[in-house]
């Protein structure tokens, strides 16, 4: 299928929004908004070179990060809640978005890192297409919380170079309680299978920066350590023992987390080490610790 046809098919999803597993069915072309609050124009909170991502993404010139406002998840512990829940940011046209990508490449960034892109996929990839036609060469990183529609992901085949999904929960009960995300475990696993089919394991360039591949982020949430282990088992047995896994210890009980005593604290060093050792015992060996 030609890129133009793909873009057309993605845009069709906006008429009765089915861009993500929530399938709100609102007509975003007529100004209706669903769970994520996204309208017709992508909303951007900030864009800049980012040096705090995984080293294989930030390299030494930074990852060209574009933060989108709004989110299709509703995590009670969200660290970026002013952007995701309160939707701080400004609406931009795909033309302006393409210009941001070009600017990040001119600044020397190693890649374009689309943070929380799910609810603006048609508009974002219209911008990517435009920027590519005008010479954008660096890889596109799709940085997502993992609540993705399989059909939409299949349309992105060949358009995304690096997938960077979170795996947050292994049990639906937790996904509903903390993120209002029914079916998250199965949806996220299906999505990761598709991402791996598309891009495979990480390929580094001569400078040690990722050109292509899948990097899965496991967010360790207090009291959900067993779910983190379950997700590691899934990766080792159903994806690849060579898959790159970022073990995130950046969880902080922010936003509304204090209302949930079992997650209202930090993850201990001991728990973090135990999960890492467990992952290694499964044969996973490409860990990024941050």
Residues in contact with ligand SF4 by the rule CB under 6 A: 17-20, 22-24, 26, 34-36, 38, 72, 119
- Distance between CA atoms of residues 243 and 187, nearest Å: 19
Q: Give the bridge partners for 246, in sequence order.
A: 217, 288
Query: How near is the Cβ of 70 to ligand SF4 at its closest, in Å?
Result: 8
Task: Give the distance, in angstroms, between the CA of residue 67 and the centroid of all CA atoms in the same chain.
Answer: 11
Q: Is 4 helix (H, G, I), strand (E, B) or coil?
A: helix
Query: How near is the Cβ of 74 to ligand SF4 at its closest, in Å?
Result: 10
- Distance between CA atoms of residues 137 and 119, nearest Å: 24
Secondary structure element (H or E) that encloses residue 167, with its range: strand 162-167
Contact partners, residue 193, CB within 8 Å, separation at least 6: 238, 239
37 or 49, CB closer to ligand SF4? Answer: 37
Q: What is the DSSP letter of 268?
A: P
Query: How near is the Cβ of 22 to ligand SF4 at its closest, in Å?
Result: 4
Q: Is 71 known as a binding-site position?
A: yes
185 or 213, CB closer to ligand SF4? Answer: 185
115 or 267, CB closer to ligand SF4? Answer: 115
- Distance between CA atoms of residues 61 and 58, nearest Å: 7
Query: How near is the Cβ of 17 to ligand SF4 at its closest, in Å?
Result: 3
Is the Cβ–Cβ distance between 5 and 159 less than 8 Å? no
Q: Is 199 helix (H, G, I), strand (E, B) or coil?
A: helix
38 or 139, CB closer to ligand SF4? Answer: 38
Query: How near is the Cβ of 19 to ligand SF4 at its closest, in Å?
Result: 4
E runs forming strands in 39-137: 43-50, 63-68, 90-91, 112-115
69 or 246, CB closer to ligand SF4? Answer: 69
Q: Give the bridge partners for 91, in sequence order.
A: 43
- What is the chain's length? 290
Query: How near is the Cβ of 16 to ligand SF4 at its closest, in Å?
Result: 9
- Distance between CA atoms of residues 268 and 276, nearest Å: 13
194 or 227, CB closer to ligand SF4? Answer: 194
Annotated binding site for [4Fe-4S] cluster: 71, 75, 78
Annotated binding site: 71, 75, 78
């Amino acid at each position: 299928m030609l890129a133009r046809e793909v873009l057309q098919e993605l845009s069709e999803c906006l008429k009765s929004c089915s861009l993500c597993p929530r399938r709100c069915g609102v007509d975003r072309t007529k100004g209706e908004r669903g769970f994520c609050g996204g309208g017709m124009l992508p909303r951007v909170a900030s864009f800049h070179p980012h040096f705090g991502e995984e080293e294989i993404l930030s390299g030494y010139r930074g990852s060209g990060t574009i933060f989108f406002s709004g989110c299709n998840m509703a995590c009670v512990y969200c660290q970026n809640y002013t952007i995701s829940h309160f939707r701080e940011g400004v609406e931009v046209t795909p033309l302006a978005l393409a210009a941001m990508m070009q600017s990040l490449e001119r600044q020397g960034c190693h890649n374009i890192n689309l943070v929380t892109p799910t609810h603006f996929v048609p508009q974002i990839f219209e911008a990517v297409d435009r920027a590519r036609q005008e010479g954008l060469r660096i890889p596109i990183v799709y940085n997502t919380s993992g609540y993705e529609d399989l059909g939409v992901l299949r349309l992105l085949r060949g358009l995304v170079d690096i997938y960077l999904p979170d795996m947050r929960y292994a049990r639906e009960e937790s996904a509903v309680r903390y993120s209002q995300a029914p079916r998250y475990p199965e949806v996220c696993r299906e999505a990761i299978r598709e991402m791996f089919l598309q891009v495979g394991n990480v390929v580094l360039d001569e400078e040690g920066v990722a050109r292509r591949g899948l990097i899965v982020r496991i967010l360790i949430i207090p009291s959900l350590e067993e779910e983190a282990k379950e997700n590691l088992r899934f990766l080792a047995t159903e994806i690849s023992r060579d898959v790159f896994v970022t073990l995130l210890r950046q969880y902080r009980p922010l936003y509304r987390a204090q209302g949930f005593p079992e997650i209202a604290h930090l993850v201990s060093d001991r728990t973090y080490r135990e999960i890492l050792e467990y992952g290694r015992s499964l044969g996973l060996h490409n860990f990024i610790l941050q």
